[in-house]
Structure 1
Amino acid sequence: MPVSSTHASSSESAVRLRHTLAALLLIAFPDVLSVCAENQAISAENDRVPNIVLILADDMGYSDLGCYGGEIQTPNLDRLAADGLRFSQFYNCALCGPSRAALMTGLHPHQVGIFQWTGLLNNRCVTLFELLKEAGYTTCAVGRLDMVTADNWHDPAMIQRYVDRFLGSTGHTGPGN
């Protein structure tokens, strides 16, 4: 059966249209890839979590650091403070253990079960360490961890509840104190 000229022209038009669309796709494809790559780079940049360095020092007053108006020169800490987040209001206890417990839990020391230099956090509270671990952070504590007692300082599970890595002592009663 012969093909009519109308059918042939519409068939040719369809072929031309497909070729044109294919050419447009090939021309536009690198731009689409470029936009996708840019979006992925922006997304990766937004997904990047900040490093957190939290410093708690015993027997230091609010205005002892230069960044808080202190007379002592503390240029390295001042530089960290300038690029980071500074706390200006925090409940403080006269003892180090309860102060650490308050900072790590956001609760008053009596709510978490630490009343003395050392103590054991009750199981009803969640620590900043635990929240950071859940968010994908690797946690490390350096120095003293006053959230365990003399009876359980050597228990790895007790330490791992709080941090992935620990370099220091677990209070005033462990070895090395």
Structure 2
Amino acid sequence: MATSTTGHAPVQETEATTVTITSGGAIAIALLRLSVGFVFLWAFLDKFFGLGYSTASERAWIHGGSPTKGFLSHVDVGPLQSAFNSIAGTWWADTLFMLGLLGVGLAVILGVFMNVSAIAGTLMMVLMWAAEWPLAQFTATGDPSGSTNPFMDYHLIYALVLIVLAVIGAGRYFGIAPWWARVTGGKAWMR
């Protein structure tokens, strides 16, 4: 094992090692994966059927409502404000948003397509972060933005969780990834 210094702290170079996850760790990873997947899937179900949580029945997508119009038309802060306002309620924004929620939610819950889900979910979360623009303390009209942190918010946390779940192969833990790998011949992008 060689030790070198790069900048401030010593860095130790080691050979790749196998990490063993305890059964408690596997359960915790599976619970985290299922929880984050359910956040996406529930958002889809509520917006699709109007289950009365964030979407009333009369505003459901199946009743002609728009899952993006309310959120994007009220963006009043940040450099992308006009872009978000202009796509609010468009058929393609609604469709992409709903397919993203459904796809990411199901894939993460099942533990398959974790890499694709991490990319799609991260893109969705970063765009939603940009729509809320927590960097701004005031809206375009001068009112307080309500931001509680100058950078970090739950959208970025969800994005990081999706990335970590993909990197560690979380679908292996109480997911269908092992079975899926056998069926698909172990194609890495499908895991």
The TM tier, using the shorter chain, reads: under 0.3
Normalised TM-score (structure 2): 0.20
Which has more radius of gyration? 1
Q: Which has the higher contact order (CA 8 A, sep 6+)?
A: 2
TM-score (norm 1): 0.21
